[in-house]
Amino acid sequence: MNRPVSFLDLKAQQARIAHRLRPRLDAVLAHCQFVLGPEVAELEGRLATYCGAQHCVGVSSGTDALQIAMMAEGIGPGDAVFLPAFTYTATAEVPLVLGATPVFVDVDPRTYQIDPAHLSARIAETRTAGRLRPRALVGVDLFGQPADWVALNRIASTEDLFTLDDCAQSFGAVLHGTRLGTQAQATATSFFPSKPFGAYGDGGALFTDDDERAALYRILRSHGEGTTRYEVLRTGMNGRLDTMQAAVLLAKLDVFDEELAIRERIAGVYDRRLSNAVVIPARVPDSVSAWAVYSVLLPDEAARTRLQAALREAGVPTAIYYPRPLHRQPAYAGHHDGADLPVSDDLSGRILALPIHPDLSDADVERVCDAVTQALG
Ligand SMILES: *Cc1c(COP(=O)(O)O)cnc(C)c1O
């Protein structure tokens, strides 16, 4: 059998960008400002320009970006934070860490994004129950595609909710002609290595157009310190982006648009070759995906298990995002009000992610397509 197809290939990427990476890392080793060195400010400036936001604040991870944004609003006990049930655990973990309560919302069966109509229903239910105060909405741009921010913002403004965009998987995606980063009052992204814009360790960033929020995010990421080092203004955290990761990201930013274009091209091949065999992901209207994940749907869980096994046999790796929606997770079930989330339940049983990354060769893309069509033919 041929060598297996890679699900993600950070070694190939590293070889491709080595000439950009080495000088960047050597510069950090030369100046030794490992925490909040000049590369952090340079990256913040370039990323703010890249997505058109007034401010970018580099932080220690996507999860910490979400946490700092919620801490800045004073979100805590008694507050309801609305978020999709079909997402990565970090989205729901943060409100709970702060003493707030996640209220799970179902997603759209075709785009997998948070369902605005169900959000409205969940806000109304929460108000009627009277136990929690509707306080914030975390819209997740899942798998690289943008959520429906026009609809989400309309609802959030009527309901007076703080809006936070969990853009961990979708930095670089475009909605209505603009890159994500300015759709919500604050946008959080992640530089975890496997994300489309990944570092060589943990990292993240917050984007906002609001001067006061940006200033507060800088204070909170450094222990709540004021202008002098030993004046503590707020309860903060150690949440800074480190300089080495900023240097890696500066090297990767130079090739990021090319990588996004390759991901888009691969998605196009999958769409054309696989649409008769499986349910391909529906595109969010007027958007360009960052294609963190390309997930298809099988008729049921047994069919998914069979296809996954056949692909493994053919040297094609797959992954399941997410095998269990958050309201079914042991850590969160006790915080769930019991509402039905049928789409999240259904997707988790039959969704399957295929390899998509910028170092996947055309021959490998063909191999994936052949393996899928042969297994299902
Ligand atoms: C990866 C991810 C996060 C967390 O990012 P980290 O940098 O790993 O902390 C948050 N939300 C979503 C949707 C993610 O995919």
CA pair distance 167, 143, nearest whole angstrom: 10
Residue whose tokens read 């202008």? 227
Ligand 1 contact via 147 beta carbon (within 6 Å): no
* Average pLDDT of the residues of the chain: 97
Strands (E), the chain: 55-59, 79-84, 101-105, 133-140, 162-166, 174-175, 178-179, 186-190, 204-208, 287-288, 294-297, 351-354
Ligand 1 contact via 61 beta carbon (within 6 Å): yes
Ligand 1 contact via 63 beta carbon (within 6 Å): yes
Sketch the domain layout of the chain as residue ranges: 10-253, 256-376
Q: Tell me the CA–centroid distance for residue 371 and ligand 1, in Å.
A: 30
Q: pLDDT, tens digit, for every residue of 187-220? A: 999 999 999 999 999 999 999 999 999 999 999 9
Task: State residue 17's pLDDT score.
Answer: 98
Ligand 1 contact via 37 beta carbon (within 6 Å): no
CA pair distance 188, 210, nearest whole angstrom: 14
Q: Closest by alpha carbon to 353, among 311, 315, 302, 290?
A: 311
- For 123: left if phi > 0, alpha if psi spans -120 to 50, otherwise beta; the answer is alpha
Task: State residue 72's pLDDT score.
Answer: 98
Residue 177, judged by CB atoms within 10 A of its CB (0-12, 13-18, 19+), counts as: exposed
Task: State residue 30's pLDDT score.
Answer: 98
Instruction: Specify the CATH architecture of the domain 256-376.
Output: Alpha-Beta Complex (3.90)
Task: State residue 301's pLDDT score.
Answer: 98
Which residues are CB-neighbours of 25 under 8 A, at least 6 positions away? 244, 247, 248
Radius of gyration of the chain, Cα coordinates, nearest whole angstrom: 21
Domain range 10-253, its CATH number among 3.30.390.10, 1.20.1090.10, 3.40.640.10, 3.40.30.10: 3.40.640.10
Ligand 1 atom nearest the C-alpha of 140 is 13
Judged against a pLDDT cut of 60, whether residue 222 lies above it is answered with yes
Ligand 1 atom nearest the C-alpha of 65 is 9
Ligand 1 pocket test, candidate residues 59, 61, 63, 187, most atoms within 8 A of CB? 63
CA distances from 107 to 142, 270, 330 (A): 10, 23, 20
Ligand 1 contact via 236 beta carbon (within 6 Å): no
pTM as predicted: 0.97
Q: How confident is the model at residue 229 (pLDDT cuts 50, 70, 90)?
A: confident
Q: pLDDT, tens digit, for every residue of 84-141? A: 999 999 999 999 999 999 999 999 999 999 999 999 999 999 999 999 999 999 999 9
User: What is the average per-residue pLDDT within 153-179?
Assistant: 98
First and final C-alpha spacing in the chain: 21
Ligand 1 contact via 204 beta carbon (within 6 Å): yes
Q: How confident is the model at residue 1 (pLDDT cuts 50, 70, 90)?
A: low
